[in-house]
Amino acid sequence: MSGVERIPILKIGDVLLASIQVDLQDRDVLALQEDLAEKISATGAHGVVLDISAVDIVDSFIGRMFATIAATSRLFDAHTVVVGMRPAVAITLVELGLTLGEVRTALDLEKGLAILAGLAGDRAAR
Amino acid sequence: MTGPGREDIPIAADDDVVRIRQVVRSYAQRARLSLVDQTKLVTATSELARNTLTYGGGGSAVVEMLGEGRRQGVRASFADSGPGIPDIELALTDGWTSGRGMGLGLSGARRLVDEFTLDTEVGRGTTVTVVKWSR
Amino acid sequence: MTIGTGRSDNLAELLRASGEVLTRRWVELAAEPLRGRLSVAELERELADLYAAILAGLDTGDRDPNSDAFAEVRALLSEMSRRRARAGFTPSETAVGVFTLKRAMFELLDQAEIAGGLAEVVAFSLLLDAFGLWTFETFAKAREEVIDEQAEQLLELTTPVVKLWDGVLAVPLVGTLDSARTQVVMEKLLESLVTTGAAHAIIDITGVLAVDTQVAQHLLKTVMAARLMGAECTISGIRPHIAQTIVGLGIEFGDITTKASLADALRHALRRAGVDLVAGDRRG
């Protein structure tokens, strides 16, 4: 039995970036949720980017993680963007009937960061 | 086309769910399912394997290659000897859940495959079988 | 290890001893009906490989065409039939590659005596017949594959994804949409979003004659999938009777953006992309 796979979380400016490169076990998913919540609260980051361009399946459990991370980050006044979802994964999620709630999505990291920068601008204006 | 035509995988822990995804993926590739169909089947089996683990208290999966004329397919069965499902209709309703997940496990998995059979008896256990065919 | 029956060694021995003569004659006979459409060198190589595999199979003493002893022969024949099918040869032109070995062997037997006698020759002859049939079967399979591929290519051709502007893609759909075609379009469009990085897509159905429930559902799902990927998808050119169908089928288009024409959809996409359209100042 392998241990929990910790997804590394990078901090780029005001944004936390978690790039998922492994086939996620349910406990890895839960660990990432916890790690991100702690990191957001510790750093005061205004945004979270989940890069899933290497992920070839997203089931309802992983999908719920996105929604949970987004909801948690809202409590710290931060937004979550999921980037790089593959077409086959997106088609499957639609068929599965999964909606991602407050999660925003972008085609790639660059566009994801641009969305967060826009939202941060709104925050500064408030 | 090489490789086994059938594989039995026990479902006792989290990483068995990941293993089932990988086995199903390789079968789906060998059956020449399109990338989208592979993804649908793997996602469906991930849901079902997790159900077996969470609600059935563990069990086993059988993954098989199917050939019917020029059509090829993959069949995956998930069996447990857990409590069974008292209300099948309710269990197949979107949004209904008695555990983790979004309550899309059974109903969602059914939409992702070509054939879906559910065999359950309260107190005896549940077996779910799904099939996906190449186009 | 299988032990030869002793008698069978004789035919195998004869075939081995006269290998060179036999294969030369075999190539000659096999090349004739192909009339130069395949180079002799290529044919020589194919048949030499096949001959070696047949000999190796015979050495085991096995005479069952479906046994493991002839697995290599069957594999070589499948490959050969597949190549012939793709190159546009007929099934007989393909099978002749096997049957001519029989003729070459009979010619050789005219001049030689083998200890196994008639029984051995008949057994070998039946074996070659089975191999001949095997080429027919793999040939047919390969042809079907070719047809499938062509059908798919045709589908690809009829549904191009075009770039209208930086970051704006469009698929103009024309004709009758069936479920399979819609699905192909949907996947192709989503793939194009990834490869081009375009955040806007327009599905234009001006040229579509009719939609059914399934097709309408596929269109909807495409838009939703694009949204999950982080792109916006607009449907344009819905004809009045198609609009009525959609409403009649009770399909909810919900918050999906629809535009009357492709031009409207492009204007919408550009505005969303932050491009300002200004009427030109025409002078002189």
The whole-number pLDDT of residue C195 equals: 94
Residues of the domain holding A60: 9-120
Distances (CA, A) of C76 to C28, C45, C48: 20, 12, 11
Rounded to two decimals, the ipTM of the complex is 0.91
CATH class entry, domain C162-272: alpha beta
Q: Which of A22-36, A87-101, B34-48 has the highest mean pLDDT?
A: B34-48
As a whole number of angstroms, the distance between CA C268 and CA C250 comes to 26
Q: Does B21 touch chain A (CB under 8 A)?
A: yes
Neighbours of chain B (3+ CB pairs under 8 A): A, C
- Domains within chain B, CATH numbers bracketed: 6-133 (3.30.565.10)
Distances (CA, A) of A123 to A65, A76, A106, A119, A126: 25, 12, 20, 6, 5
Q: What are the start and end residues of each CATH 1.10.490.130 domain in chain C? A: 7-155
- Examine residue A3 and state whether it is found in any structural domain, yes or no: no
Q: Return the structure tokens found at A55.
A: 């992920």
The whole-number pLDDT of residue C59 equals: 84
- C59 in Cβ contact with C42 (< 8 Å): no
b/e per residue, C187-202, with b = 16+ CB within 10 A? bbbbebbbebebbbbb
Minimal CA separation from C204 to chain A, in Å: 20
Q: Quick check: C180 and B70 CB within 8 A?
A: no
Q: Do the strands A79-83 and C232-236 form a parallel or antiparallel pair, or are they unpaired?
A: unpaired
Residues of B in contact with C144 (CB under 8 A): 70
- A105 in Cβ contact with A83 (< 8 Å): yes
Q: Return the structure tokens found at C9.
A: 């060694």
Residue window 28-47, chain B: list those with CB within 8 Å of chain A. Answer: 35-36, 38-40, 42-43, 46-47
- Examine residue A1 and state whether it is found in any structural domain, yes or no: no
As a whole number of angstroms, the distance between CA B65 and CA C70 comes to 25
Q: Quick check: A96 and B38 CB within 8 A?
A: no
Residues of C in contact with A111 (CB under 8 A): 197, 199, 230
Tell me the percentage of chain A whose pLDDT exceeds 90. 67
The whole-number pLDDT of residue C14 equals: 77
The more confident residue out of C215 and A116 is A116
Name the domain count of chain A: 1
- Examine residue A97 and state whether it is found in any structural domain, yes or no: yes
Q: How many CB atoms lie within 10 A of CB B17?
A: 26
Report H helices in B55-101.
88-91
Looking up tokens 């550009």 gives C270
- Ranges of residues in chain B with a pLDDT under 70 are 1-3, 94-104
The whole-number pLDDT of residue C255 equals: 77
Q: Quick check: B47 and A63 CB within 8 A?
A: no
CATH class entry, domain C7-155: mainly alpha
User: What's the pLDDT tens digit per position in A46-89?
Assistant: 999 999 999 999 998 899 889 999 999 999 999 999 999 999 99
The whole-number pLDDT of residue A31 equals: 92
The whole-number pLDDT of residue B101 equals: 45
Residues of C in contact with A90 (CB under 8 A): 190, 225-226, 228-229
The whole-number pLDDT of residue C283 equals: 60
As a whole number of angstroms, the distance between CA C170 and CA C194 comes to 14
Q: Which of A85, A92, A93 to mutate to test the interface with B (most CBs of B within 10 A)?
A: A92
Neighbours of chain A (3+ CB pairs under 8 A): B, C
Minimal CA separation from C49 to chain B, in Å: 22
What are all long-range contacts of C216-220, with beta carbons under 8 Å and residues at least 24 apart? C216/C245, C216/C246, C216/C249, C216/C251, C217/C251, C218/C179, C218/C182, C218/C183, C218/C186, C219/C182, C219/C186, C220/C251, C220/C253, C220/C256
Q: Quick check: C144 and B70 CB within 8 A?
A: yes
Q: Return the structure tokens found at C235.
A: 């449907």
b/e per residue, C230-247, with b = 16+ CB within 10 A? bbbbbbbbbbeebeebbe
Each residue's pLDDT, cut to its tens digit, for chain C (284 residues) gives 333 344 445 677 777 888 888 888 888 888 888 877 888 888 888 888 998 898 888 888 888 888 888 999 999 999 989 888 888 888 888 888 888 888 888 888 777 666 566 777 888 888 889 998 889 888 888 888 888 877 777 766 667 899 999 999 999 988 777 887 788 888 999 999 999 999 999 999 998 888 888 888 888 899 999 999 999 999 999 888 888 888 887 777 777 888 999 999 999 999 988 887 777 766 65
Q: Quick check: C187 and B36 CB within 8 A?
A: yes
CA torsion sign for C55, C60, C62, C68 is negative
Q: Quick check: A91 and B43 CB within 8 A?
A: no
